[in-house]
Amino acid sequence: MVGATRLWPGGVVSATRDLDLITALVAQVCRMALYRPVLIAVDGLASYVTAFERAFRIPVRRFAGAKGRPRPEVWPHLPLVQMVKPRHGKTLQIERRVVRGTLATVQRLVHGGQGMGGINTAFIERLNATFRQRSAHLARRTRHLAHTAAPLTASMYLIGCLYNFCDPHQRLRRKLWSNEQRYHWVQRTPALAAGLTDHIWTPAEAFTFKVPPPRWTPPERRGRPSKATLALVAKWWA
């Protein structure tokens, strides 16, 4: 989840919570992230640190003109924090760890992203509760088990799409002032806060929205392409 806009970009479904699942999830985050300071907040699972350090790498040469393959190194501006909740008997403690980066950098990114608060994973935990509430497959002690990953994946993206485009978020609303004494709240969804749309969608609009297919590219073949293929490509890219 993007903390500033509460936007849910996507997810991965697996029967077990292991390194393969975390690696696939981190690969999605890496494809969407820009090369700039990005604060990553995760729980105490050690696989998160390993997966992020493997995915967020760039090739770096030791000196100019060096030969050979450049050595991959982790992003120099990738702060990574963990929320560890050890339980001692009946007492639950919360420990905040800065795994990568400095505390000053983490505080600066937290202030720039959410304005107040500290290191936490409350946003994604609340979203997980929303998924469990709206999907019978994810409810605790349920009889509606998902026997394959396909229906669970479909329901995850369906709920996530409605959450992003149709559900106004209370923390994202803005004040619209009429005068010094009168104002009203303007509701916003995560997609509206992220600039992906200019209005709050209805469920009917989300279900009937037509996603354009990707641009067609001709298959790779040996030899010179035929005139029919060149004409088709020119017509498609026009």
Q: How many CB atoms lie within 10 A of CB 121?
A: 18
Among the listed residues 3, 13, 9, the one whose alpha carbon sits nearest the alpha carbon of residue 29: 9
Q: How far apart are CA 161 and CA 163, in angstroms?
A: 5
Give the pLDDT means over successive 10-residue stretches in the chain (238 positions).
Answer: 89 88 92 86 88 89 75 86 82 84 86 74 88 86 83 92 94 83 88 93 93 77 77 72
Residue 186's DSSP bridge partners are 174
Q: How far apart are CA 92 and CA 122, in angstroms?
A: 16
Q: How far apart are CA 45 and CA 83, in angstroms?
A: 9
Q: What is the pTM of this model?
A: 0.79
Residue 118's DSSP bridge partners are none
Per the CB < 8 A criterion, the answer to whether 93 and 71 are in contact is: no
